[in-house]
Structure 1
Amino acid sequence: MAVASLIHQYQIFCYSNPKPHFHSSIKTRTTQWCLNTIPNSSTAHKIARFSFICCTSSSPPPDTASQTPESCVNSGLSLFSKGRVREALIQFDTALSLNPNTMEAQAALYNKACCHAYRGEGKLAAECLRTALKDYNLKFGTILNDPDLASFRALPEFKELQEEARLGGEDIGDSFRRDLKLISEVQAPFRGIRRFFYIAFAAAAGISTFFTLPRLLRAIQGGEGAPDLLETAGNGAVNIGGIVILVALFLWDNKKEEEQLAQISRDETLSRLPLRLSTNRVVELVQLRDTARPVILAGKRETVFMAMQKAERFRTELLRRGVLLIPVIWGEVEAAPVEKKGFGGSAKAAAALPSIGDDFEKRAQSITTKSKLQAEIRFKAEAVSPAEWERWIKDQQKSEGVTPGEDVYIILRLDGRVRRSGKGMPDWQQIIQELPAMDNLLSKLEK
């Protein structure tokens, strides 16, 4: 569950059911302060102190005249932490009806979306998040980072919401698209320059064509002093041909940019997928950057099991290259028993989730923490929230022109991007020849 905190932009903390916890899910650049919390710059993370207003069946309802949006949000969080989701929804709706400010409205909508996700109401959750993104400056990265919304991210409604956010527009806002464009400009720094020259040369050819047309008419009419017809027609043809080519190049560049933005969006989703290490610690894939080369094996149980057995023969060499196997079984999410509806993994996974997010990313920069994480990485990891993994793999298959649901493998680079993928299961000997050892110079350049 999440509650907005008032910062220079904003910060969101989350509660998980059944045991509440809160964690930072987006990065901030300024001092953070929360509802009912006084800023304290001496601490790295400010923990909110909530004034809860609890309602029980034995006590009379609170006086609506004394309610504020803040108190309703806090009351909703308290009710949700006790499993009273329907009553929590009423509190969040009440907060939205009391003329809240931007941060209070954002908190109410986001928490309301979490409640709907818990109840399996994907469409209602998507509508709340869409409103928060459009009108109340919610960052799409918050939705990607929050483990409490893991079940929502596995639904088709999330894919639709993500696609809308990637395209931008009045219905959902342009913040996510702007972030994607910044990454795109880093990966393709000369695209803007190329577009400038496309437009400049097309404009020059258009102006030249504008002055050529009267000369062409005079050449067709003939008479004394008329320009040469073939020469004038040739000039006009060159200008028109140049405009057509330049417009085609401009449109092609735009198409490539949209494909790149879609790939960056998929890479961002991939980086937030959770997995459980051999030590039972739950981390996000982004936390393994520079320390492991994940190899995702997706397919039928028999096929994946056979590939894992073959990999055991080359275990030592694969470990020298930082390979971490992540098996994903098609349809396993339907076959697995459901421990709870919504909000991601089991209670054991939830207990490990506070390490996910901005707090961990800061600690992960230290050599000590990276060394500890590297020591925990073994040969195999378990995919947490298989539905999220399966949805991402099938989206990647569509982008590569592969029929969704086929057996595939995906090899990631040390920096977290997709190195290559293929149908079936990998040839481990070929992978050993292809991947350099972790202490090799090429591996250091890959980070």
Structure 2
Amino acid sequence: MAVVGVGVQQQFMCSSESKWSIRTTPCNPLHSFILIRPHKKIQFSLISCSSSSSSSPQSQAAEADTQTAESCVNLGLQLFSKGKVKDALAQFETALTLNPNPVEAQAAFYNKACCHAYRGEGKKAADSLRTALREYNLKFGTILNDPDLASFRALPEFKELQEEARLGGEDIGNSYRRDLKLISEVQAPFRGVRRFFYVAFTAAAGISLFFTLPRLIRAIQGGDGAPDLLETSGNAAINIGGIVAFVALFFWDNKKEEEQMAQISRDETLSRLPLRLTTNRVVELVQLRDTVRPVILAGKKETVSLALQRAERFRTELVRRGVLLVPIIWGEGKETKTKTKVEKKGFGGPQKAAEALPSIGEDFDKRTQSIASKSKLKAEIRFKAEVVSQAEWEQWIRDQQKSEGVTVGEDVYIIMRLDGRIRRSRKGMPDWQQIVKELPEMEAFLSKLER
């Protein structure tokens, strides 16, 4: 088994007879590929794109002649995995100058963005990702999933890029917007029918007005055979009012759709945020669907600590209702980010945490099965979980506060449904006794309807 780059992946995709299987390493979705063939281990040589200072000019020239985009991407991946970010960045930039094919260019731009994200260069990371999205068909879901881009997702540049993708501007993230629209149509199935009637009634009122206006002019002029002015003006007013009303309804429905898609986009971002369970396993929130009802507590340390203490008195009842507490203390994300920057070597989180994250492109059921069975996962879930990449969590909560008109930075709590959608969000901390009365037990019929 050997680790190779995008060129080998392309060869794999073109072969229909070979019995290759492919899987991506869960830590870095686009960084490296592992090709496995039964009964044989295949070795691939990697061509270095950097010349040694001790080599002769002739050997340097010969080495330069053998450079390809594929070899530079491969070498960049090697340096990338060893934590040599600056050198890896140079290799990905070199690959882009060597006439790469679309697959190689996508990998080079994407991994280049990961290098910039690691170095805290948000604008450069966004520019590289924007190019990969616009010109090389990068899926926006990849950006949402990759733990190496967690620091970037907490930056304003990511929010700008996500908004562009949601709106479909400049051909960025068209597939992302299309997916959001599909979800929106499922949640509001009659919006298309309503729009059809808005357009049809507006057209009917416009045609009627077209024939009414000449009659109104004749009625105003008066004379023999002129139509009744009051009746004609009333008809014209009804037609004009109908056009204004249906056009207003059409634009109102469009605005509601955009608001709904913005919420779906936030929900999608939320579903990709990571948690650490009490067993030290790291999972994405999406993997806990149908299993728990996360309750996010965000606020000052004193407020959140007090809420957790009060929750302990109702622990048994809350656990029976599938409640999983997710405390977030404002400002701790900065301290965590500083520590991570000092201790981190290479890309991604710790190896154990990285291995717990799902691969790109799999649906929820496959992701859950690829990590562990649902029963085992359920056994690992306790009463409380710890957030991973807190800056990213804080950014999401602030966006949610802005969307609901809540002052950013206030103490808030968010209760989620079993299906992963938000059930309720309020200012302050929850009344646990009321929540016990409100939430049905996991085996109750109403809980089954939430799944």
Fold shared by both chains (TM-score > 0.5): yes
Shift of 1:231: 1.1
* Correspondence 1:208 to 2:172: no
Shift of 1:423: 0.8
Percent of paired sites with the same residue: 71
Structure 1 pair 363/307, CA: closer, same or farther in 2 (3 Å)?
Answer: same
CA shift digits 1:203-248 (9 cap, x unpaired): 1111111111111111111122211111111111000000000011
Q: How does 1:90-129 map to 2 (within 5 A)?
A: 90-129=90-129
For the 8 Å contact 1:408–1:421, the answer to whether it is kept is yes
* Correspondence 1:335 to 2:338: no
- For residues 67 and 42 of structure 2, the distance between their equivalents in structure 1, rounded to whole angstroms, comes to 20
The count of residues paired between Structure 1 and Structure 2 equals 427
CA shift digits 1:345-383 (9 cap, x unpaired): 742664444445556741525997000000000000000
1:411 alignment partner, SS class: strand
Structure 1 pair 306/196, CA: closer, same or farther in 2 (3 Å)?
Answer: same
- For residues 89 and 65 of structure 2, the distance between their equivalents in structure 1, rounded to whole angstroms, comes to 19
- For residues 341 and 259 of structure 2, the distance between their equivalents in structure 1, rounded to whole angstroms, comes to 37
- For residues 415 and 392 of structure 1, the distance between their equivalents in structure 2, rounded to whole angstroms, comes to 19
Structure 1 pair 3/323, CA: closer, same or farther in 2 (3 Å)?
Answer: farther
1:347 is matched with which residue?
Answer: 350
Of 207-216 and 51-60, deviating more is 51-60
Structure 1 pair 67/388, CA: closer, same or farther in 2 (3 Å)?
Answer: same
Structure 1 pair 51/201, CA: closer, same or farther in 2 (3 Å)?
Answer: farther
- For residues 329 and 169 of structure 2, the distance between their equivalents in structure 1, rounded to whole angstroms, comes to 37
User: Which protein is richer in helix relative to its size?
Assistant: 2
- For residues 180 and 166 of structure 2, the distance between their equivalents in structure 1, rounded to whole angstroms, comes to 8
* Correspondence 1:387 to 2:391: yes
1:442 is matched with which residue?
Answer: 446
2:111 alignment partner, SS class: helix
CA shift digits 1:296-350 (9 cap, x unpaired): 0000001000000000000000000000000000000123352227888742664
For the 8 Å contact 2:23–2:35, the answer to whether it is kept is no
Structure 1 pair 230/50, CA: closer, same or farther in 2 (3 Å)?
Answer: farther
Of 313-322 and 225-234, deviating more is 225-234
The residue type equivalent to 1:347 in the other structure is P
1:295 alignment partner, SS class: strand
Q: How does 1:87-166 map to 2 (within 5 A)?
A: 87-166=87-166
- For residues 88 and 348 of structure 2, the distance between their equivalents in structure 1, rounded to whole angstroms, comes to 22
- For residues 12 and 56 of structure 1, the distance between their equivalents in structure 2, rounded to whole angstroms, comes to 32
- For residues 83 and 368 of structure 1, the distance between their equivalents in structure 2, rounded to whole angstroms, comes to 30
Q: Let me know the Cα RMSD of the aligned residues.
A: 2.9
Shift of 1:63: 2.5
- For residues 352 and 241 of structure 2, the distance between their equivalents in structure 1, rounded to whole angstroms, comes to 61
The residue type equivalent to 1:375 in the other structure is A
- For residues 267 and 123 of structure 2, the distance between their equivalents in structure 1, rounded to whole angstroms, comes to 24
* Correspondence 1:378 to 2:382: yes
1:436 alignment partner, SS class: coil
1:63 alignment partner, SS class: helix
- For residues 36 and 277 of structure 1, the distance between their equivalents in structure 2, rounded to whole angstroms, comes to 28
1:179 is matched with which residue?
Answer: 179
The residue type equivalent to 1:385 in the other structure is S
2:19 is matched with which residue?
Answer: none
For the 8 Å contact 1:22–1:354, the answer to whether it is kept is no
The TM-score normalised by the length of structure 2 is 0.88
- For residues 361 and 407 of structure 2, the distance between their equivalents in structure 1, rounded to whole angstroms, comes to 36
Q: How does 1:265-344 map to 2 (within 5 A)?
A: 265-336=265-336, 337-340=338-341
The residue type equivalent to 2:420 in the other structure is G
- Any stretches of 5+ residues in structure 1 without a counterpart? 16-20, 26-33
2:96 alignment partner, SS class: helix
